[in-house]
């Protein structure tokens, strides 16, 4: 998974493929522009997939999740295909996820070792 975490409040509006979303807060008279985390996650997932492929690891199940810490936030995002979860929901959602493939402990260990290796470079 590629997990993006935010602590946004207010009402967040936009479209899933827009470069920016807009945040409206009751105590502010202005609208704040936010970078779209869905696009950011998409870029991160693509980079991760390419790194893994360059080491001969094919892993089709790299999916995005957006975790927002503020339970009072409201997301109105049209075309949204990834979940927006609160921290308490994220572990349960990930544990219940069923991807294209079942991975062995050895598969997972290989990816963990790769991520540790590339994070040091």
- Give me the chain's average pLDDT, please: 92
H or E segment and range at residue 39: helix 37-54
Residue 28, pLDDT score: 73
Q: How confident is the model at residue 51 (pLDDT cuts 50, 70, 90)?
A: very high
Going by pLDDT thresholds of 50, 70 and 90, the confidence category of residue 60 is: confident
Which strands sit side by side in the sheet containing 31-35, from one edge to the other?
A: 31-35, 20-24, 11-15, 74-78
From the CB of residue 68, how many other CB atoms can be counted at a distance below 10 Å? 20
**Residue 7, pLDDT above cutoff 90:** yes
Single pTM value for the model: 0.82
């Amino acid at each position: 998974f590629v997990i993006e975490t935010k602590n946004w409040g207010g009402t967040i509006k936009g479209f899933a493929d827009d470069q920016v979303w807009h945040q409206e807060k009751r105590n502010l008279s202005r609208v704040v522009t936010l970078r779209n985390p869905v696009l950011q996650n998409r870029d991160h997932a693509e980079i991760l997939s390419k790194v893994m492929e360059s080491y001969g690891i094919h892993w089709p199940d790299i999916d995005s999740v957006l975790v927002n810490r503020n339970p009072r936030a409201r997301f109105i995002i049209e075309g949204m295909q990834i979940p927006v979860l609160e921290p308490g929901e994220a572990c349960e959602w990930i544990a219940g996820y069923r991807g294209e493939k079942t991975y062995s402990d050895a598969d997972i260990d290989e990816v963990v070792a790769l991520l540790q290796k590339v994070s040091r470079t």
